[in-house]
Structure 1
Amino acid sequence: MKWYEIEAQKIHSNVPSDKEINISAGFGPTGLPHIGTLCEIIRTNFLKKSLEKLGRKVHFHLISDDLDPFRKIPLNLPNQGLLKEFLGKSINQVPDPFQMKNSFSEMVEDKLVEHINRYNIDCNLVQNSISYQSGEYNAEILNFLHNYEVVNNICKESVGPLRNRTYSIFMPISPTSGRVIEHINLIDIDSDTGEITYIIPADEIINKPGSEYGIELKDFYSTEILNEPITTSVLDGNCKLQWKADWAMRLLARDIRFEMHGEDLTSSANIAIKIATSLEREAPRLYKYGLFLDDNYKKISKSKGNGFSLEKSMDLLTDKALINYLEKKPKRNSKFHVNLSPRLNDLALTKNELSVSYTKAQRILSASQPHNLQSAIEFLRRYSFSMSNEAIKYSYNYFLETKSTSKSPKLKLSEKEKKFVGLLSFCLEEISAEKTQDINLYLTVHDCYKNTFDKHSKEHPWEIIYKSLFNNNYGPRLSTWLEISGYNEFIRRLKDSVEMSETTFIKELDLDKASSDEETKIASKLTYTTEYIRPNYLEAISFDLVKEKCLKLALALKNKRDEIIQSVSSYQCRNVTDDEISRSLDLLLNIQENQEYFKLKVQGVTSFLPLNQPIYATVCFGFIPSLMSKDTCIRPPTAMHSHYQKLIKAIDFTYFSNSLSISFEDKESFISKRIQVTDAVIFTGTPENALKVRKHFRKKTLFILNGAGHNPLVISKDANIDQAVESAMRVVLYNQGQDCAGPNSILIHQDSYSIFRQKLVNELEKIKNKVGLYDDPDNIVGPNSDVDHSIKLATIFKQYREYCTYGGEINIINGLIRPTIFEKPLSLGGNYKEFFAPIFFLQEYRCDEELESYFFQPQYSKNAMYISLFGSSDYINNEINENIHLKDSILINTDLHLVERGTTPYGGQGIAASCIYFNGEVIKGNTLPQRDIYNHLVLNT
């Protein structure tokens, strides 16, 4: 039995024979119909037919969620400006961008029904807006209102603390603007009258999907009544239920027995079942099906366009092929993409059609390169291949699709080749215009070639022609192709190839210029902005009090050094903790160097600490900012929590600053509580993780990013090798490589390479007995702080094993990674990967030109931080682009570990290495929290 027959038997057995059976499918009409929606409808119809064969009366309801808010404008639609005015309103209130139907939702529904009719599916299209407004759902909505706490809490559990702040299953529809109000605080319920009272909290901050920053509700709902109680009915379409509650409500209201859903909606389906159970109602059968995957096993997305669109499926798949594909077991994830079209069509062929092969037709057309449908028919006939006109059309559509989406780069013609092709097209056009003689192609090609290239030229004329016609060095037999396609098509393609080459060349120059202009644009933003009008809550800072607090903490760090070292002894080596304390003391005892920044206090600073250097990071990113604010809160990363709690037992940083607090909450809860009180965020981590945090804060919040830098060591031919080796050992082994100052590559001139490598190996041999677990206080290289990171590195080591010449040992159980040397000549490409481990990546270079190639790559510039140059290099000293490295980021005969101080700015020109986000601007460059808070939030106040 097929899957839908089994399901039909189960439903048939569970529903009394005298009752009619309701089944359903739902979709959101927010964009052009999606192939996934059609597939779900077809599959549900399989079940309907099976139930009908069992003698059951079945109602198939197709639910359009047209009362949902219109949140995003699809990019593939016209009249974008018109649609923008209707964002936030119900989809049935949004106009049709094609101006053919009464509403956006009606346009989508109509297009979907066209496809449904093609498969003769009998279903009842239900518009949710009508069901709400007619009162059809009123009884069930009242039931939800009577059980509000239960149902709302079930739904709230799934959305997290950030969304919880303004979550209610009831979303009022504004009588003034028509917007669906998704963010409210419910303050009263009258379940007898069916009314709720709510407010829209003006100062609450939410994040819109796709937005880079948080937005206050007073801006998001600028035309609504804010901070005042509003009473409305939840009946007759005055309120819309949040979709998880809505799904459960409509399933119960319609007594639905079966509905399918994608694997990605499993948790939501569980919530719908949980709601039904909590209300002591019979839960419907919600059948999960697997995801459709593209040829890279990624989920198909209509926004990414990485799979079948509804239109493509109609053009490329026969009806039988789609039906045959969907009849198979749906619970597994399965590939469903354009390249499967010929095979899926072949699998659906019946016995009397087996002579027809879409796969063979595809090979013939791919080799023949037809220029239109008629030429495709002629090519197939030429090869004695018989197909119906419909089958040929599917095959030709597939040929066009694969040709248009080919990832093969456009082959460029040299200037000489362009001249030859242009001359050839001109001559053929002249000859064909006379119509008095047959074209002798071979003679014409020979003459044009002779007039373009000298006799010693190695270019082959026919290769150039194939490149022009087919963007390839080979193709179909030209005489056959010409006979079917004709000279007009031949000449057109020749002319297009010359124009395309020139256009492409110009475009590339423009792109380079645009890229350069963008760099200049970013660089120009280094001036401080005063766009944001700051509130008048700032109060004066007593610098004497700042010095006093710094001195007290410094004395405590000195006096409790042994206790502090012991508290983090299971997290890092003793030498690292010693170094952290020394750096912290340097900052605290020299805070007068930053006295100019301590003028006025801001309201709040929120700091996300890095995975390494908990003591120094706390002082730099927590304690010092707390002296400039009324409320500073820091959060260590989750992997550090247990260790950090031991640390604060040894030294409680909050004791020395009454405005400092430490949070061990999960990240979402922490962000949720910090949104309203934060003027500045200090974040250490990747730009990707920074964005996940930044999108919840206001655009006017100062966001300081300390990212990851490349920091290469360059050892030139006149370098002091002993000094260079000492530096390499220091920066690579510090905290077992878990430091952003660690170099991704050590670039060594060929004259210095052998001696540098040998001395480095000698030094590594000396410290072999100092590599191990943290319980030995003499160890200077211990396990990685994140044990899971060692598992990732094991995979990377496998990829790089041909370059590994020393070490290479990883213990994925305890996270210990022994010092390792990789050697890869720079001529084979630079290394831009940050290992966050004790890895020496040695790259030999021969000259400054080769050295330049390392710094010239785009993947370097975005993470550019510092260069440590040992010896001299004309390129680094005089020629390196200042957009990548300013002079003060080039360290001569020293390294970042020796020069970095908490009182001086830190970072580089790479936007992923360090930058500031403020008022929608990105300001690349180094950071220093006390300076940046002063310059952006205090200066000019």
Structure 2
Amino acid sequence: MVIDRATLLESKAWPIVEAQRLAERVARQPPAKGHVLFQTGYGPSGLPHIGTFGEVFRTTMVRQAFARLSDVPTRLYTFSDDMDGLRKVPDNLPNRDMVGSHLGKPLTSIPDPFGTHESFGAHMNARLRAFLDRFGFDYTFQSATACYRSGVFDATLIRVLERYDAIKAVVMPYLGAERQASYSPVLPVCPKTGRVLQVPIERVDPDAGTVVYRDEDGHFVEQSVRGGNCKLQWRADWALRWVALDVDYEMSGKDLIDSAKLSGQIARILGGRQPDGFFYELFLDEAGQKISKSKGNGLSVDQWLRYGTEQSLALFMFQAPKKAKRLYFDVIPRQEDDYASLLEQVPAQEPRALASNPVWHMYDGAPPTGGGNGLGPRGGQVLSYAMLLNLAAVVNADRPEQLWRFIAKYAPDATPESAPRLDALVHHAIAYYQDFVLPAKAYRLADARERAALEELERTLAALPAEAEAEAIQYEVYEIGKRHDFANLRDWFKALYEILLGQDQGPRFGSFVAVYGIGPTRELIGKALGGALLAKGGGL
């Protein structure tokens, strides 16, 4: 659905808010280059990770929203900082000794330890592009090495020499005494060793475009800053990129607020300006600690995609980017079901509500049709990821056909071919069940009150028609809980989950029975009351 500009401007969805602010800036000062440039950064010393996905995805959301508010064309650069000198050898590399012999050199000057590309940096850049292409992002790849060596940065580098002292004055207060003694925004690349040198600069000559420094042997060297013979310290490097490329929008993590402020000051010294953007919150691990690449305490994209879909990952990245969120396996089921629910809402939503629906943004205004899981709802209930997990728990599933046997009863026309999203969820749910639910399953016996309630539930189900709808079943379950004096009905449902499923939470029980079947549910209750589930660990 096309949403008019006036309606979009009423939306509080964060991509639209960001795009509106950028559109106002562009209207005040249209870019001389003829387009608005969005940018994301990537450090290629390590593999692309879930944060890389999040930054490119979120930037794309703002870019798409901007295109709906402005006629100015846009471009997105994904920029690789591959001129950085390698400081340490990542633990997960082959040929680590070989890589270690090249410490200090730009990543694009180190042989590829994987043996597939002309350099370590080229290998990682190829992995980045493959990673982004996997998700269909529209971007232009940019290499720091190519920009330095081709002369793209040369004019701005001369400006760095002209304003060298002013740039140092901005950065020095943030450095310790030892670092202040050797600090220079310009890092020469040694012509003898190829290493990026962090050495004091003895003299700068803007007219000649050179710097003078002592090399590692103690000799004075005068060297051009052009053509890739130097790179800048990273705060100055960030500013260089903003100014030389005329970047209009770049977001970054909350941990870079102070660095971005310094880079913005340097950009202004160089005659440019800091891009628009915002600082997103960092992710937290299972224990509420910040995710760290070096600690490896986060979740990788491949790990997410073992248990969930690309759509659920995109939704997780879309929701509340300025709020710290736990990034762990247990968030995936909720994201899958939230995505399905949001997609189900699309056809009936008015434009104002649709503009705030994350799914509308995720699909650039053209979300798919056919239901949140590829099936239309039956009896008002969508076959959810949570439901699939609990079916897997009951039958101890390790094969998709075990779940499809029940799905076929619930939706006879559905097949893995006709409902590919649902089939993907089946595979993901089985993987999640096998890795996380099964190891933690712990059945228990019913106490006297619970036994009486379960016996009545079995009799009640026996009296219902085989095709009873989920709501009718749910009503009976509620009434049984009330009759057996469960003051808090949550305790009744928790008992059902613990006794029948071996876990402390589960699906809407009426919906579960509708999918699993009244007959199999009665059999499950009989096994639970007879102690068979406790003895065998569940499964039919």
| TM superposition score normalised by structure 2 | 0.67
- The residue aligned with 2:36 is 21
Q: Is 1:85 aligned with 2:101?
A: yes
Query: Which amino acid is 1:158 matched to?
Result: Y
For residue 228 of structure 1, the aligned residue among 219, 244, 254 is 219
**In 2: Cα distance, 1:170 partner to 1:338 partner:** 43
Q: Is 1:101 aligned with 2:92?
A: no
Cα distance change of structure 1 residues 261 and 480 upon mapping to structure 2, 3 Å threshold? closer
- The residue aligned with 1:655 is none
Q: Is 1:362 aligned with 2:396?
A: no
Q: Shift of residue 357 of structure 1?
A: 1.7
- The residue aligned with 2:317 is 326
Checking the alignment, whether the CA contact within 8 Å between 2:18 and 2:277 is kept in structure 1 is no
Cα distance change of structure 1 residues 324 and 339 upon mapping to structure 2, 3 Å threshold? same
Cα distance change of structure 1 residues 135 and 390 upon mapping to structure 2, 3 Å threshold? same
Alignment of 1:234-249 (within 5 A): 234-249=225-240
Checking the alignment, whether the CA contact within 8 Å between 1:23 and 1:258 is kept in structure 2 is yes
- The residue aligned with 1:51 is 66
Q: Shift of residue 31 of structure 1?
A: 0.8
**In 2: Cα distance, 1:475 partner to 1:75 partner:** 45
Q: Secondary structure at the match of 1:47?
A: helix
Q: Shift of residue 368 of structure 1?
A: 4.9
**In 2: Cα distance, 1:241 partner to 1:21 partner:** 25
Q: Shift of residue 251 of structure 1?
A: 0.6
- The residue aligned with 1:61 is 77
**In 1: Cα distance, 2:394 partner to 2:100 partner:** 46
- The residue aligned with 2:436 is 402
Query: Which amino acid is 1:344 matched to?
Result: Q
Q: Is 1:260 aligned with 2:251?
A: yes
For residue 164 of structure 2, the aligned residue among 126, 138, 148 is 148
Cα distance change of structure 1 residues 477 and 255 upon mapping to structure 2, 3 Å threshold? farther
Q: 1:21-40 CA distances to partner (integer Å, 9 max, x unpaired)?
A: 11100111011111101110
- The residue aligned with 1:71 is 87
Checking the alignment, whether the CA contact within 8 Å between 2:394 and 2:538 is kept in structure 1 is no
More strand by share: 1
Alignment of 1:327-476 (within 5 A): 327-349=318-340, 350-351=343-344, 352-353=371-372, 355-366=382-393, 368-370=395-397, 372=398, 374=399, 376-378=400-402, 381=405, 388-402=422-436
- The residue aligned with 1:117 is 133
Q: 1:742-768 CA distances to partner (integer Å, 9 max, x unpaired)?
A: xxxxxxxxxxxxxxxxxxxxxxxxxxx
**In 1: Cα distance, 2:22 partner to 2:275 partner:** 10
Cα distance change of structure 1 residues 359 and 252 upon mapping to structure 2, 3 Å threshold? same
Q: Secondary structure at the match of 1:187?
A: strand
Q: 1:310-337 CA distances to partner (integer Å, 9 max, x unpaired)?
A: 2212323322212222222312212222
Alignment of 1:252-331 (within 5 A): 252-331=243-322
Alignment of 1:160-239 (within 5 A): 160-182=176-198, 184-199=199-214, 224-225=216-217, 227-239=218-230
**In 2: Cα distance, 1:275 partner to 1:319 partner:** 38
- The residue aligned with 2:23 is 12
Checking the alignment, whether the CA contact within 8 Å between 2:315 and 2:339 is kept in structure 1 is yes
Query: Which amino acid is 1:355 matched to?
Result: V
Query: Which amino acid is 2:431 matched to?
Result: N
Runs of 5+ in structure 2 lacking a partner?
Answer: 1-10, 345-370, 373-380, 412-418, 442-530
**In 2: Cα distance, 1:138 partner to 1:170 partner:** 13
Q: Shift of residue 97 of structure 1?
A: 2.6
Cα distance change of structure 1 residues 232 and 295 upon mapping to structure 2, 3 Å threshold? same
Query: Which amino acid is 1:290 matched to?
Result: E
Checking the alignment, whether the CA contact within 8 Å between 1:20 and 1:57 is kept in structure 2 is yes
**In 2: Cα distance, 1:147 partner to 1:480 partner:** 73
Cα distance change of structure 1 residues 309 and 479 upon mapping to structure 2, 3 Å threshold? closer
Q: 1:793-839 CA distances to partner (integer Å, 9 max, x unpaired)?
A: xxxxxxxxxxxxxxxxxxxxxxxxxxxxxxxxxxxxxxxxxxxxxxx
For residue 47 of structure 2, the aligned residue among 32, 42, 46 is 32
**In 1: Cα distance, 2:532 partner to 2:184 partner:** 64
Q: 1:862-902 CA distances to partner (integer Å, 9 max, x unpaired)?
A: xxxxxxxxxxxxxxxxxxxxxxxxxxxxxxxxxxxxxxxxx
Query: Which amino acid is 2:227 matched to?
Result: D
**In 2: Cα distance, 1:335 partner to 1:396 partner:** 23
**In 1: Cα distance, 2:300 partner to 2:191 partner:** 37
Q: Shift of residue 282 of structure 1?
A: 2.8
Runs of 5+ in structure 1 lacking a partner?
Answer: 201-223, 409-472, 484-941
Checking the alignment, whether the CA contact within 8 Å between 2:148 and 2:154 is kept in structure 1 is yes
Q: Secondary structure at the match of 2:291?
A: coil
**In 1: Cα distance, 2:393 partner to 2:185 partner:** 55
Cα distance change of structure 1 residues 401 and 37 upon mapping to structure 2, 3 Å threshold? farther
Checking the alignment, whether the CA contact within 8 Å between 2:308 and 2:425 is kept in structure 1 is no
Cα distance change of structure 1 residues 234 and 407 upon mapping to structure 2, 3 Å threshold? farther
Alignment of 1:532-611 (within 5 A): none
Q: Secondary structure at the match of 1:256?
A: coil
Q: Shift of residue 401 of structure 1?
A: 4.4
Q: Shift of residue 181 of structure 1?
A: 1.1
Q: Shift of residue 130 of structure 1?
A: 0.5
Q: 1:598-633 CA distances to partner (integer Å, 9 max, x unpaired)?
A: xxxxxxxxxxxxxxxxxxxxxxxxxxxxxxxxxxxx
**In 2: Cα distance, 1:407 partner to 1:267 partner:** 44
The size of the alignment, in residue pairs, is: 390
Q: Secondary structure at the match of 1:32?
A: coil
Cα distance change of structure 1 residues 119 and 379 upon mapping to structure 2, 3 Å threshold? closer
Q: Shift of residue 105 of structure 1?
A: 2.0
Checking the alignment, whether the CA contact within 8 Å between 1:155 and 1:245 is kept in structure 2 is no
Q: Shift of residue 129 of structure 1?
A: 0.2
**In 2: Cα distance, 1:287 partner to 1:173 partner:** 33
Q: Secondary structure at the match of 2:178?
A: helix
- The residue aligned with 2:154 is 138
Cα distance change of structure 1 residues 328 and 96 upon mapping to structure 2, 3 Å threshold? same
Query: Which amino acid is 1:315 matched to?
Result: R
Q: 1:149-170 CA distances to partner (integer Å, 9 max, x unpaired)?
A: 1112222322322322322111
Q: Shift of residue 301 of structure 1?
A: 1.6
**In 2: Cα distance, 1:385 partner to 1:84 partner:** 59
Q: Shift of residue 369 of structure 1?
A: 4.5
Structure index of larger Rg? 1
**In 1: Cα distance, 2:66 partner to 2:223 partner:** 43
Checking the alignment, whether the CA contact within 8 Å between 1:189 and 1:197 is kept in structure 2 is yes
Q: 1:671-728 CA distances to partner (integer Å, 9 max, x unpaired)?
A: xxxxxxxxxxxxxxxxxxxxxxxxxxxxxxxxxxxxxxxxxxxxxxxxxxxxxxxxxx
Q: Shift of residue 474 of structure 1?
A: 9.8
| TM superposition score normalised by structure 1 | 0.39
Q: Secondary structure at the match of 1:232?
A: strand
Checking the alignment, whether the CA contact within 8 Å between 1:95 and 1:103 is kept in structure 2 is yes
Query: Which amino acid is 1:61 matched to?
Result: Y
Cα distance change of structure 1 residues 62 and 307 upon mapping to structure 2, 3 Å threshold? same
Q: 1:475-522 CA distances to partner (integer Å, 9 max, x unpaired)?
A: 7874985x8xxxxxxxxxxxxxxxxxxxxxxxxxxxxxxxxxxxxxxx
Alignment of 1:742-781 (within 5 A): none
Q: 1:184-225 CA distances to partner (integer Å, 9 max, x unpaired)?
A: 12111111111111125xxxxxxxxxxxxxxxxxxxxxxx42
Q: Shift of residue 402 of structure 1?
A: 3.0
